[in-house]
Structure 1
Amino acid sequence: MTAGNSSAQTLPAAAHAVAGAVGGAFATWMFYPLELIRVEVQKKGNTTTSPNSESDECTEQKDGNTAKESQQKMPRSESDLECFIRLYKQQALYRGASSMVTTMLISSFITFYALEVTRKSLSMLQKGNHQQKQRHVRQMQSLQKHIKFLEYILPQSKMGMSLLSSTLTGIINVFLTTPLWNGTRRIMESDVHVAPGSPKKPLREPSLWEMMNHISKDEGVLQLWHGTWSSLLLVSNPAIQYFLYEQIRVWVLGIKNDRYHRRQLVHGSRDNGHKILQLTAMEAFAFGAFAKTIATIVTYPLQLAQVLIRLRKNEVKNAGASSNGQDDQQPLKEYGGIFECLYQQYTRGGFTSLFQGMNSKMLQTVGQAAFTFLTYEQTLKLVGKVIESST
């Protein structure tokens, strides 16, 4: 994240973590309604295309035109605008927002901290291979296998090292924050609201910690890490995002440094070595938006499958609880995995169905990422000035 910037490289990992946490929490709060709309649209769309509706339709064809009438009565998918209006009337646009902001605050802190630590550690390992060969000649026999192992697994280019550090950061983040995300999603997907004009007060929304405690007590502690393996596939999203952002950042700062030194030579002035070049707010915004756009387009079907698998599991659970032993309808089955979910989604709606709900997702996630990096860069400047003034 910080290659090519001398000031950023001297800042401790905690400074990057604080800046990233502030940026992530602020951007999440700004764009939270769009995230909630995406979840609602995906939930409604998945419900209206369940296999139960198809079996009911086949049964009703025995009565002539009954199937056509049932198709006309079948609810259509809700648009993003209609979902926004409905949530606004229900005063539920920020349902679960506190849990999401808290989760993003912790997740961003872990991400930016781990990213700095892993990047610097891998860089030191890569540089230390040749130094160890020269300094420890007598210990070569015991270290030879380890050194060769590192040479094989560590990328030799800076771009490869950046991609590896981003991937490792994503894996660390998944294992540490999956319980938080599971609790947050449960709160977001709940329907705790009161119709407009109702004199009754709405039920109190559970906090993130209460929801996590509820899951661990009722379903077991391991259920907090449900979906971890599918989330590991989605590590590709932040890995691509941070990798692209860093590469663009390094390239632009390199151009700025070259231009600065050239101006110094033209004017005959000497560079005192303390000039700090940073990305502007608009540059950070644009680069963050571009990186997130590419990452989202590439990995969106996997994200959709993760949501649909979780929603189908809830539907099967609710259907089993309300069936009361009635076997008239074909039982609803859970998806066998991500690829089965994507295949069924494709057979129902074609290629475009693999990107169901991406409109609100793109606006929400790209805007959120752009403001995250904008706030991150500005906060990092402020933290850097505070550290410099205190030393």
Structure 2
Amino acid sequence: MSDALINGLAGAGGGIIAQLITYPLQTVNTRQQTERDLKKDEKKLGPVDHMCQVVKHEGWERLYGGLMPSLAGTAASQGVYYYFYQIFRNKAEAIALDRRKKGVGDGSVGMLSSLVVAALSGCVNVLLTNPIWVVVTRLQTHSKISKKLQPRHPPEEEILVDFEPPPYGTSHVIQEVYDEAGVWGFWKGVFPTLIMVSNPSIQFMLYETLLKKLRKRRSSSKSGSNGVTALQIFLLGALAKLGATVVTYPLLVVKSRLQSKQVISADNRRHYRGTSDAIMKMIRYEGLSGFYKGMSTKIVQSVLAAAILFMVKEELVKGVRLLITKDAKNTLR
């Protein structure tokens, strides 16, 4: 089994586990990003309070709306990303070693090379998996959009409690997206998503840099071991994701707005024709704060998910390599 395949499968496994644990936070965050009519008192709701509101008015199952296609998307995204990341990383390492033989560099992959490797992997991932995330975004925001279309006559609270969303599954979303924009509708938001490649690029650049420094420090210690524990991987993954999320969050909001169902009405503020149109309307009608809606929820969700993913992925890679080594030894005997 190749190293790229091991990392791809381990990344998919780690992504699924992280997604299962943090999915309710992801649902709440997507709703916060796409909401444009919140009242002042509602804006103060934190992640936990927002989840309680969803459970109260819509039931527990709405926190997991779109879970199955999301798990499929996570497995595909992480598998594709780590597979190509390892392939590009191996090539970068080979180039670095070749440069060292020629007397240039120390043979290690630099920060810029790590950034390029992560960016290339991210672009391949986005182009292949964007349709899945369009479907997931629609499923996560469905009940909110349907609820907004209900009459706003009093008593409003009874409308929210008694509201029963119509049947709406993956097949309904696929048909809806196709009816709206044809095949290209499944690549809505792909431009800001491609720019969002900078998020995992920054994340992996920080992660690899911090990991390299930690291993160097441990190898120079008295023990002389450069091994890193699962807890340290967890913390490094969390720190790397935190830095990447703060920098790129506005692009994530724009992407979610484009992928959610477009409300066609006399109010032109609700309808986006593309990325630039979405950005200009958000600046005009919501101000810069509109680009940071739900950021606290996203930080909690993405940092926790990334930390879990890195930890599980590294442990799975170690386990698979150990099994392969044992099998090789048994074969030689």
The answer to whether 1:306 aligns with 2:255 is yes
What does residue 87 of structure 1 align with? 54
Q: Within 5 Å, which residues of 2 pair with 1:230-249?
A: 230-249=192-211
The answer to whether 1:375 aligns with 2:324 is no
**Aligned partner of 1:228 among 175, 181, 190:** 190
* Shift of residue 378, structure 1, vs aligned partner: 1.4
One-letter amino acid matched to 2:203: Q
The answer to whether 1:162 aligns with 2:110 is no
Q: From the superposition, tell whether residues 202 and 330 of structure 1 become closer, same or farther in structure 2 (CA, over 3 Å).
A: closer
**Aligned partner of 1:38 among 29, 40, 52:** 29
**Aligned partner of 1:283 among 213, 232, 239:** 232
Q: How many residues align?
A: 308
What does residue 134 of structure 2 align with? 182
Structure 1: distance between partners of 2:302 and 2:100: 42
One-letter amino acid matched to 1:307: S
- Is the Cα–Cα contact under 8 Å of residues 179 and 212 in structure 1 kept in the other structure? no
In structure 1, stretches of 5+ residues that fail to align are 1-9, 49-73, 134-150, 265-274, 320-328
Identity of aligned residues (%): 25
Q: Within 5 Å, which residues of 2 pair with 1:102-113?
A: 102-113=72-83
Structure 2: distance between partners of 1:25 and 1:189: 21
TM superposition score normalised by structure 1: 0.69
- Is the Cα–Cα contact under 8 Å of residues 41 and 83 in structure 1 kept in the other structure? no
What does residue 3 of structure 1 align with? none
Structure 2: distance between partners of 1:190 and 1:284: 36
Structure 2: distance between partners of 1:333 and 1:30: 32
What does residue 355 of structure 1 align with? 292
**Aligned partner of 1:390 among 319, 322, 327:** 327
* Shift of residue 348, structure 1, vs aligned partner: 4.7
Q: Within 5 Å, which residues of 2 pair with 1:290-329?
A: 290-311=239-260, 314-315=262-263, 317=264, 319=265
- Is the Cα–Cα contact under 8 Å of residues 279 and 377 in structure 1 kept in the other structure? no
Q: RMSD in angstroms over aligned alpha carbons?
A: 3.4
SS in 2 for 1:279: coil
Structure 2: distance between partners of 1:339 and 1:100: 27
- Is the Cα–Cα contact under 8 Å of residues 302 and 338 in structure 1 kept in the other structure? no
The answer to whether 1:254 aligns with 2:202 is no
Structure 2: distance between partners of 1:218 and 1:355: 28
- Is the Cα–Cα contact under 8 Å of residues 262 and 270 in structure 2 kept in the other structure? no
Please identify the structure whose Cα radius of gyration is greater: 1
What does residue 154 of structure 2 align with? none
* Shift of residue 120, structure 1, vs aligned partner: 1.0
TM superposition score normalised by structure 2: 0.80
Structure 2: distance between partners of 1:77 and 1:388: 56
What does residue 169 of structure 2 align with? 206
CA shift digits 1:164-186 (9 cap, x unpaired): 10110111111111111111112
SS in 1 for 2:143: coil
